[in-house]
Structure formats: C-alpha cells, structure tokens
Structure 1
Amino acid sequence: MTPKQIERVQNKIKKIRKALSDERRRFGGYHDGRGLRYAPFELYLKIQDYKGGATYLRWFLKNFPDDYGFPTLWIMSSIIYFKNKKKKEAEKMVLTTFFNDPVVFNIFIDTPIEYVTSTHFNLDAIQEFYTELQQKNDLSDFKTWLLDFTTTEKFLHYKKEYLLLEEKLTSSQKESERKGILELQSKLTDLSTY
C-alpha cells in the first residue's frame, strides 16, 4: 500500500472510533446496530498495524465482553495476537473461532471440511475473506503456527470434546439431557482459566 492509501485507512479507523465514542457519549452506552465495531479489525490488518489492532482489540473486549461476533472476527483477533507475539491469547482466539464455527479452520489451513456446526455462516464468504486477507498480508508465519497449534495435544483435546458434545446435542431429544450437555459445553468453551 502507498502511504496515501494507508493514511486513508487510518482516517477511516479514526472516523469509526469517533462515531462509537459519540454514540457512547450520546446514549450512555453502545447501540451499534450498524456493526461499526467490527470494521477496524480488518482495517488494522489491511495496513498491517498489529499494535493498533491489539489496542483496539483490548478496547473491544472491555466494552463488548459478551459479543460473540463471528468466526472471521476471532480469526482476525488471533492473527493480531500472533503478530504481537502473544501466543497464549492467539491460542484462545483460535479455540474461540473453532467453538463458533470449525469450518473456518478447514478454510484457513486448506483441509477438507470435516464438520459443520452452523448453517448461518456462508462458506463462500469465508473463503473470499481468507483469500482477500492473504493477498493483503503475509500470513505464512501465522498459517504455519496455526497448522502446528491445531495438531497439538491441547487443541486436539478441546476439538474432540467439543465435537463429541455437539454430536450428543444433535442426537439428544430430552430437554433435561440437552441442558446438561449445554452446561458441559459452556464449561469447555469458557477459556478464562486457559
């Protein structure tokens, strides 16, 4: 990117952050129905400002702690953490991505799609996002790390347990049984003690 293009992206980020700040001042909180809060992640990656992305990510997690976002948001977060040499946080985001939609991994590590948990994420859109992200960033180091991490005992344990619970949840008909499975799944996906 040229310096002028980078400056335009930086200005776009500033406008979005100002709009969010104005919203908080005006309403006493965030009512971001337009989804502006998600846009800076991709913009920071676009200009390869990983430190700025980490600062924004801290702000986002503080102000939207219960926002589950979407898988591409969490994979962008793991890239930001990875590029800032925060491997443990990157691992947590990779697992969060997996819990939200395992298909994203299959796309990012170029493996056949083995399990689909959601129907509301468009596979073509995720593939397009990944291709675009690859064109704008050198993610070869991230991809190598991601491939390595997804073969670790730790990741494979979480993957196996999660998919087992998903399978049980799909086949279970009893409400009480489903409730118990959802509680186990909630404990597994709570990475606060990771």
Structure 2
Amino acid sequence: MTPKQIERLKKKIADIKRALAAEKRKFGWYDDGRGLRYLPTKYFIQLGDYSGGLTYTKWFDKNFPDDSGFPDFLFEWTIILFKTGRIKEAEQKAFQTFCRNTYLFDKFFGRPIIPFDKWEGSNLEAPGFTEYLDYSCRQPALGDFSEWLASFISTQDFINRSNKYIDIQKRLKTEDDSETRHYLVRQANQLEQSG
C-alpha cells in the first residue's frame, strides 16, 4: 500500500468519525441511517491497524449496544479480536458471525455454497449475500487468522452449537404456532449471545 493510499484510508476513518460526532451533537444520539458506523473496521484491517480497530469496536459496542451488526462487520470484528490476541472474544464473535450468515465461512474458505432448507430470517442469511465478501483464506495477511478460524470451526463445541442453531432455523421454517416460534427465536438469540 502506498503512502497516498494509507492517507486516504485514514482520512476516510476520520471523516466517518467526524460525521458520526456531528450526528450526536445535532440530534443527541447517533442517527446513522447510512450505516457509516460499519465501515471503519474494513479500513483498519486494510491498514493493518488492529489496535486502532479494537479501539473502534470498543467505541461501537459502547455507543450501539443493541446493534447486532451485519455479517461482514462481525467478521471484520472477529479478525480484529484475533489479531489483537483476544481469542475468547474472537471465538464469541465468530459464532455470532456464523449466526448472522451461516454461509459466510464457506465463502471465506472458497467452499461451494450449498443452501439448505431453513428459515432465512432476512436476505442477510441468504447464500447470495456472501457474494460481496472482500476476504479470503488465501490472503497472506489473513493466513494466521485463516488457520485459527479453520481450527475453531472444527471444534466439537462449535459444531454442536452451530448444528443446534441450524436445527432451530429449520424448525422455524415450518413452525406456524406463534408461541412455539417465539420460544425458538428466543432460543436462537440466547445461543447466539452465549457464543
């Protein structure tokens, strides 16, 4: 990356922070309908500034505690946690990423995406949503992360929890009883949060 490219990315991060701060001053809260808050993690990863990314994700968590995030954002957060040595937190965020899009890891590892019959709560979970993914296990800067992620998603704990999550989503596809659906959704949310 050239010095000019580095400066451009740093300027993008600064501009986003400035825009978000202006919203807070103007409204008394963040009115980020444009989704600017999701962009800096990508830029921090491109810069290799993982400690800056960690500082940003801590700020994000404090200011948007109920924001569950998009799959790519959660994936970037996972990379940042791993690269800063926060392995337990990275494991939790990786599972949350999986719950947001059960096909994303397949895309990252270059595996064929085979949709299965489950409730697609939003287009974010659909296989086509992974087509945009900017990351691949073949990227040299992500070699250590790729090895770690491959090992983590092969653990019996991850396999058991992911199978349980998928089973809930399969049941939601056909369940019509509102009380049972509510119970299943609550179970899925608890499973995701326990990450």
Structure 2 length-normalised TM? 0.89
Matching of residue 140 in structure 1 with residue 143 in structure 2: yes
In structure 1, the residue matched to 2:90 is: 90
Paired residue type of 1:32: D
Shift of 1:58: 0.4
Q: 1:173 to 1:124 in 2, by over 3 A?
A: closer
In structure 1, the residue matched to 2:162 is: 159
Shift of 1:161: 0.9
Structure 2's unaligned 5+ residue stretches are none
| Greater Cα shift, 23-32 or 104-113 | 104-113
Which residue, out of 110, 117, 134, partners 1:130?
134
Counterpart-to-counterpart distance in 2, 1:132 and 1:105: 9
Shift of 1:22: 1.4
| Greater Cα shift, 114-123 or 1-10 | 114-123
Structure 1's unaligned 5+ residue stretches are none
Q: 1:167 to 1:128 in 2, by over 3 A?
A: closer
Which residue, out of 169, 174, 193, partners 1:190?
193
Counterpart-to-counterpart distance in 2, 1:28 and 1:133: 41
Please list the CA deviations of residues 17-55 of structure 1 after superposition, one character each: whole Å capped at 9, or x if unmatched: 011111111111000111111111111111111110000
Shift of 1:111: 2.5
In structure 2, the residue matched to 1:181 is: 184
In structure 2, the residue matched to 1:70 is: 70
Contact 2:96–2:193 (8 Å) recurs in 1: no
Structure 1 length-normalised TM? 0.89
Shift of 1:129: 2.6
Contact 1:20–1:32 (8 Å) recurs in 2: yes
In structure 2, the residue matched to 1:170 is: 173
Paired residue type of 1:130: D
Shift of 1:75: 0.5
Contact 2:137–2:143 (8 Å) recurs in 1: no
In structure 1, the residue matched to 2:101 is: 101
Secondary structure of 2:39's counterpart equals helix
Contact 2:115–2:127 (8 Å) recurs in 1: no
Paired residue type of 2:161: Y
Contact 2:38–2:73 (8 Å) recurs in 1: yes
In structure 2, the residue matched to 1:21 is: 21
Counterpart-to-counterpart distance in 2, 1:123 and 1:172: 22
Paired residue type of 2:185: L
Q: 1:115 to 1:149 in 2, by over 3 A?
A: farther
Counterpart-to-counterpart distance in 1, 2:150 and 2:180: 35
Q: Percent identity of the aligned residues?
A: 37
Please list the CA deviations of residues 77-120 of structure 1 after superposition, one character each: whole Å capped at 9, or x if unmatched: 00000110111111111100111110101111222324455361
Q: Which aligned runs of 4 or more in structure 1 are off by greater than 6 angstroms?
A: none
Q: 1:50 to 1:131 in 2, by over 3 A?
A: closer
